[in-house]
Amino acid sequence: MRKLTTRFMIAMAALVVVAGAASAQTLKATIPFEFRAWNHVMAPGTYRIELSRTTDTPVFEILNVDSGTAIALLPQAPVDPDKVWGTSGKGKLVFECASGSCALAELWGGPDNHYAYAFRRARLGKDETAVLREIPMQPAKGE
């Protein structure tokens, strides 16, 4: 019985350490246009973006505050953030816009984050060019 109790206590301690190691950051942005995130079409509006990190791979929850629509996204790859972004001190959402539609391309959580994260999006057509649109993010206050 003592062995079982000891193992149980060790397992509980390990869970507490893992839960404490998980971190989250919540940001807010106003996106004035419709966009695609993975295969979801998201309406214009105010969004809460939560970056959760329980492993090496972050998970991003993107919630439309107005409609309550939410999606979870895994990034395709970490990338180096644009050097100019560091001077603003704010996180950024970057959208690739072409042929009248925009898709989430990158997300950077701000100066406390070493990487920006790229997301999968549709390939451009042969003669198609894209414009990048940056939307700043602010830290979200408790809601």
- Gap between the Cα atoms of 21 and 37, Å rounded: 28
Residue 17 located in a structural domain: no
Number of independent structural domains in the chain: 1
Q: What is the pLDDT of residue 88?
A: 74
Q: Please check the confidence at residue 9 and state whether its pLDDT lies above 60.
A: no
Q: Please check the confidence at residue 67 and state whether its pLDDT lies above 50.
A: yes
Q: What is the pLDDT of residue 142?
A: 59
Residue 80 located in a structural domain: yes
Residue 8 located in a structural domain: no
Residue 1 located in a structural domain: no
SS3 of 88, please?
Answer: helix
11 membership: H or E segment, kind and range: helix 2-21
- Gap between the Cα atoms of 142 and 44, Å rounded: 22
- Gap between the Cα atoms of 66 and 54, Å rounded: 28
Residue ranges making up the domain that contains 57: 22-139
Q: How far is CA 30 from CA 54, 82, 83, 127, 138, in A?
A: 27, 21, 23, 31, 10
Residue 3 located in a structural domain: no
Residue 11 located in a structural domain: no
- Gap between the Cα atoms of 20 and 69, Å rounded: 28
Residue 2 located in a structural domain: no
Residue 16 located in a structural domain: no
Binned at pLDDT 50, 70 and 90, residue 103 comes out as very high
pTM value surpassing 0.85: no
